[in-house]
Chain A
Amino acid sequence: MIKLQINGQERNWDGDPDLSLLWFLRDEAGLTGTKYGCGQALCGACTVIVDKQAVRACITSVSDVVGRQVTTIEGLHPTGDHAVQKAWRQLNVPQCGYCQVGQIMQAAALLIENPKPTHDQIREAMAGNICRCGCYQRIENAVHLASTGV
């Protein structure tokens, strides 16, 4: 039996210990905010925060996160009003929206590590997250806005 800490709650898993965190979250825990996009850590749609770092859930197994705090979009902020979420809404960032949870989690992790990133640092930190709709200009501006106060 594997015990996991997700959004401050304990979750148990008695299946394959190599199951990726992504499919555990989505299919077993019902936390569907975290998205599947590539399965190979190429697109960032499945980004969650483990302890204080952005992690791609698709290449992380459930056993990798034992004893660590996993935060998904559902646990990022109790009312959904994290500075990044607010900035995203203020600048109307999303188009289809599918990648945006991963983008938001990546941005939130960036701001933990670097509360005042420059535009170049934002571009660098967000480069692992693909948006096929092409919302990048707004993503960059929203991360900047979140870092300067919404």
Chain B
Amino acid sequence: MNIITNPKTLRGFERYVKVDNVSRRSILKGLGLAGGFVLAAPVMSRPALAAYKTGADKMPHGTVVDPRVFVAIAPDGIVTIVAHRAEMGTGVRTSLPMIVAEEMEADWSRVKVQQAHGDEAKFGNQDTDGSRSTRHYLMPMRQIGASARTMLEGAAAKRWGVPATEVKAVNHEVVHSASGRRIGFGDLAADAAKESVPSVEGLRLKDPKDFRYLGKGQISMVDLRDITVGTARYGADVRLPGMKYAVIARPPVTGGKVASFDGAAAMKVSGVEKVMEVKGWPWPSKFQPLGGVAVIARNTGAAIKGRDALTIVWDDGPNGKYESAAYRAELEEAARKPGLVVRKEGDVEAALKGADRVIVGEYYLPHLAHVAMEPPVAVADVKGDKAEIWAPVQSAGGTREDVAKTLGIPQENVTVNVTLLGGGFGRKSKCDYAIEAALLSKELGAPVKVQWTREDDVRNGFLHTVSVERIEAGLDKSGKVTAWRHRSVAPSIASTFAAGAKHQAPFELGMGLVDMPFEIANVQCENPEAAAHTRIGWFRAVSNIPRAFAVQSMAAEIAHATKRDQKDMLLELIGSPRILKLDSVKDLWNYGEPYESYPIDTARLRKVVELVADKGGWGRSVPKGHGLGIAAHRSFVSYIATIVEVAVDDKGKLTVPRVDTAIDCGTYVNPERIQSQIEGAAIMGMSLVKHGEITFKDGKVQQGNYDDFPVIRIDESPAVTNVYIVPPAPDTPPSGVGEPGVPPFAPALINAIFAATGKRIRTLPIGKQLEA
């Protein structure tokens, strides 16, 4: 693999791994807003104004603050606002345009949202990942809206011959109150387009007390009606004239390839038109396809039936012996020996030796699959040196780059249309399925839809890593924790980019290991080596899941050992309200955010613990067989605490009567969607506690569908999940929402189970552990 690293052009995660450098050309292709009147004016200066700093401008292509790119006003007054991030259920396609509408005083009922195609030079970074959209775009979207408003006001003032200071945009029109004159946005559109775009520094932003939409939670998702009537368009719903339907048999072992195949029987299946080998890339190769044998048919059902009839001999390659039980033993062995020190305060070795007692916990979390309801799917139409893609991708810009590079054509020649995503959870950050469709379309000279079956999704995806977290806590005679050694061992996502990556990257170490917030004199975090044997990728909340599970379980273990209340112990461990200084940590990730704006603030962590304890009735008496558990965790620069009430019956069957979660995500936009994200996070958290496990044997994933990789269903789901959002202090920067709800759920539930039964679960999923 040709490895060139230019940090300026790398995506956030790639900064830490060596990958091919993709040249980024400047692209200024029009969006083609149908019937719209695009504001056109001289180029504005780059913004410097912001109440706070985020890491947005360090992302590839940064932010674009330009109303001409994001806003169009038609003569009939319809305001079209571009959503440049991908919608996978977080509500971002509604929230970001709503911010623009708020600042420009547009009436939401006269706003249309248009999805941007992949073009980061034009729209700024589009990689919808890392719970970043609101925190990176709240201020840029406000500035875009304020710019558009200022241009509309300027146009009205000129028309009336009055100073611009005398006019004001109010609810889709500009008003001159001295004379009582008013004129609608539609009538002003043409003139407004002639106004120069104001400099960001001079923009007047609305006073938050005048907000109509932001922070109110009254606006439903723009796709709500379409979803309920079946017209919402996901990747799988794209149909083109002459389109062929394809499924692919991929190597069952990561790094394997086709040795030989026989497609004769497949060709006899009704509806099957062609069987062909498709190109794969050697592992690891970032997001490039695995290759295999494709069956092309007149419909998906025929293609699947044809694939079932294939005979393929695979060459399994170097990972053919990957076996989960043996690998767990390897991880445990590594966790019991010193590893690369990634944080060091005081002398942990001496403190552990001098401790009155040492509590040791070793926590295991297996591989997990995303199993979004919509499996990967993509449509491609490649004609000559041009390609058009329709796909549910989290990173439209990244998809464009990767498709262009694979086909050997310029990025300008690739159009990536982003459909709705039927769930993402990190799986759809990797665009291998779009590349597969492009390769097949090129080969066949026709539009092609590549549909992954559920089994493909489970067996050929990019799994959540597998990990052992080992914590040793040294206590003095009074029960105070004086030493904390945490070893984290897990194959890294970096292994998907570069062969031989054995240490976790800073962005993984920074998810709950080196940023551990407890006030302890002697702390050491270590990262022993672990080799990957399958494709490892992001999974909603990523490394925070095993880290919060370990750290927050250990907090409750210490509480039990010292006969203290879980919540009191947790607050004691968090310690005094302070900003963490992590001088010993090299390359502290901090979710890509500047530490000045987003420090680790234990006062905020304490506050969510206290809030959830108060609202969630911590300490209430519960029936026999019930128990309460609590956990708190900072991730994606938000602070979350969760209380779970569990009931375990005498057969070991568990139910969850109640969940309470408090979230401090700073300044927020849409509390209704925050609530839905936290409700959903409880379900995803409960799925991985109760059921989630992908295992390997002979290098192959042993599960394939929702029967052997179950997720929580409605009849096992918590009876009620209550969400409390911390009202932000003025000027608190916005922080993540999509992911942070997941990590504290598992330890809160595990701690509740201990309270109910006295059984301490250190291996997930629970499976049959409570039945014994």
Listed by A's residue number, 16 A-B pairs whose Cβ atoms lie within 8 Å are A15-B299, A15-B302, A16-B270, A16-B271, A23-B302, A27-B299, A35-B422, A38-B706, A94-B89, A101-B227, A130-B713, A131-B714, A133-B373, A134-B712, A136-B717, A137-B718
Q: Is A94 a contact of B245 with CB atoms below 8 Å? A: no
Decide: A40 near B301, CB < 8 A? Known: A124-B715, A131-B373. no
Q: Is A130 a contact of B706 with CB atoms below 8 Å? A: yes
Beta-carbon contacts under 8 Å, B180-228 to A: 220-221, 223-225, 227-228
Cβ-closest chain A residue relative to B686: A134
Cβ-closest chain A residue relative to B299: A27
Give a binary string over B440-459; 1 marks a CB under 8 Å from any A CB, 0 the rest: 00000000000101100000
Residues from chain B with Cβ under 8 Å of A38 in the complex:
454, 705-706
- Kindly list the 7 A-B residue pairs having the minimum CB-CB distance in the complex, ordered from nearest: A33-B230, A134-B683, A98-B422, A23-B301, A95-B89, A96-B89, A73-B230
Contact of A22 with B by CB under 8 A: yes
Contact of A4 with B by CB under 8 A: no
Give CA–CA (A133, B374) in the complex, Å.
Answer: 11
Give a binary string over A1-37; 1 marks a CB under 8 Å from any B CB, 0 the rest: 0000000000000011001101110111010111111
Contact of B414 with A by CB under 8 A: no
Contact of A109 with B by CB under 8 A: no
Cβ-closest chain A residue relative to B708: A42
Q: Is B271 a contact of A15 with CB atoms below 8 Å? A: yes
Residues from chain B with Cβ under 8 Å of A100 in the complex:
227-228
Contact of A72 with B by CB under 8 A: yes
Residues from chain B with Cβ under 8 Å of A96 in the complex:
87-89, 372-374, 420-424
Q: Is B228 a contact of A104 with CB atoms below 8 Å? A: yes
**Chain B's interface: helix, strand, loop or mixed, by majority?**
loop
Cβ-closest chain B residue relative to A62: B301
Cβ-closest chain A residue relative to B226: A97
Residues from chain A with Cβ under 8 Å of B420 in the complex:
96-98
Beta-carbon contacts under 8 Å, A132-147 to B: 132-140
Give CA–CA (A131, B227) in the complex, Å.
Answer: 14
Residues from chain A with Cβ under 8 Å of B304 in the complex:
39
Decide: A89 near B679, CB < 8 A? Known: A33-B231, A96-B423. no
Q: Kindly provide the distance from the CB of A137 to the nearest chain B CB, expressed in whole angstroms.
A: 6
Give a binary string over B240-255; 1 marks a CB under 8 Å from any A CB, 0 the rest: 0000010000000000
Residues from chain A with Cβ under 8 Å of B706 in the complex:
38, 40, 42-43, 130
Q: Is A20 a contact of B374 with CB atoms below 8 Å? A: no
Contact of A126 with B by CB under 8 A: yes
Q: CB < 8 Å: which of B87, B89, B245, B713 contacts A27?
A: B245
Q: CB < 8 Å: which of A23, A126, A137 contacts B721?
A: A137
Residues from chain A with Cβ under 8 Å of B228 in the complex:
80, 85, 88-89, 94, 100, 104
Give CA–CA (A129, B234) in the complex, Å.
Answer: 19
Q: Is B423 a contact of A98 with CB atoms below 8 Å? A: yes
Give CA–CA (A48, B300) in the complex, Å.
Answer: 18
Q: Is B300 a contact of A135 with CB atoms below 8 Å? A: no
Q: Is B372 a contact of A92 with CB atoms below 8 Å? A: no
Q: Is A92 a contact of B423 with CB atoms below 8 Å? A: no
Q: Is A138 a contact of B676 with CB atoms below 8 Å? A: yes
Give a binary string over A40-80; 1 marks a CB under 8 Å from any B CB, 0 the rest: 10110100000000000000000000000000111000001
Contact of B237 with A by CB under 8 A: yes
Contact of A127 with B by CB under 8 A: yes
Q: Is B299 a contact of A126 with CB atoms below 8 Å? A: no
Contact of A116 with B by CB under 8 A: no
Q: Tell me how many residues of A have a C-beta within 8 Å of chain B.
A: 58
Q: Kindly provide the distance from the CB of A34 to the nearest chain B CB, expressed in whole angstroms.
A: 8
Cβ-closest chain B residue relative to A103: B714
Residues from chain A with Cβ under 8 Å of B715 in the complex:
123-124, 126-127
Decide: A123 near B301, CB < 8 A? Known: A27-B245, A43-B373, A92-B224. no
Residues from chain A with Cβ under 8 Å of B453 in the complex:
39
Give CA–CA (A138, B13) in the complex, Å.
Answer: 35
Give CA–CA (A42, B299) in the complex, Å.
Answer: 22
Give CA–CA (A124, B717) in the complex, Å.
Answer: 12
Q: Is B422 a contact of A32 with CB atoms below 8 Å? A: no
Q: Is B705 a contact of A80 with CB atoms below 8 Å? A: no
Residues from chain A with Cβ under 8 Å of B714 in the complex:
122-123, 126-127, 129, 131, 136, 139-140
Give CA–CA (A35, B680) in the complex, Å.
Answer: 21
Q: CB < 8 Å: which of B87, B91, B684, B707 contacts A132?
A: B684
Cβ-closest chain B residue relative to A73: B230
Residues from chain B with Cβ under 8 Å of A85 in the complex:
228-229
Residues from chain B with Cβ under 8 Å of A127 in the complex:
713-715
Give CA–CA (A130, B374) in the complex, Å.
Answer: 11
Q: Kindly provide the distance from the CB of A78 to the nearest chain B CB, expressed in whole angstroms.
A: 11
Residues from chain A with Cβ under 8 Å of B371 in the complex:
132
Q: Is A28 a contact of B299 with CB atoms below 8 Å? A: yes
Q: Is A30 a contact of B680 with CB atoms below 8 Å? A: no
Q: CB < 8 Å: which of A24, A28, A133 contacts B89?
A: A133
Beta-carbon contacts under 8 Å, B87-121 to A: 87-91
Beyond the given A16-B305, A94-B224, A104-B228, please list 9 additional residue pairs across the A-B interface where CB-CB is below 8 A.
A26-B236, A26-B300, A27-B299, A30-B239, A94-B89, A97-B227, A134-B681, A135-B679, A137-B717
Cβ-closest chain B residue relative to A127: B715
Q: Is A24 a contact of B682 with CB atoms below 8 Å? A: no
Give CA–CA (A82, B459) in the complex, Å.
Answer: 39
Q: CB < 8 Å: which of A34, A99, A124 contacts B373?
A: A99
Contact of B50 with A by CB under 8 A: no
Q: Kindly provide the distance from the CB of A117 to the nearest chain B CB, expressed in whole angstroms.
A: 13
Cβ-closest chain B residue relative to A34: B230
Q: CB < 8 Å: which of B89, B245, B374 contacts A35?
A: B374
Give CA–CA (A137, B727) in the complex, Å.
Answer: 24
Give CA–CA (A37, B298) in the complex, Å.
Answer: 20
Q: Is B302 a contact of A37 with CB atoms below 8 Å? A: no
Contact of B720 with A by CB under 8 A: yes
Give CA–CA (A103, B299) in the complex, Å.
Answer: 25
Residues from chain A with Cβ under 8 Å of B375 in the complex:
36-37
Q: Is B676 a contact of A16 with CB atoms below 8 Å? A: no
Give CA–CA (A126, B713) in the complex, Å.
Answer: 8
Q: CB < 8 Å: which of A22, A32, A137 contacts B301?
A: A22
- Indicate the member of A38, A88, A98 with the most B CB atoms within 10 Å: A98
Q: Is A89 a contact of B373 with CB atoms below 8 Å? A: no
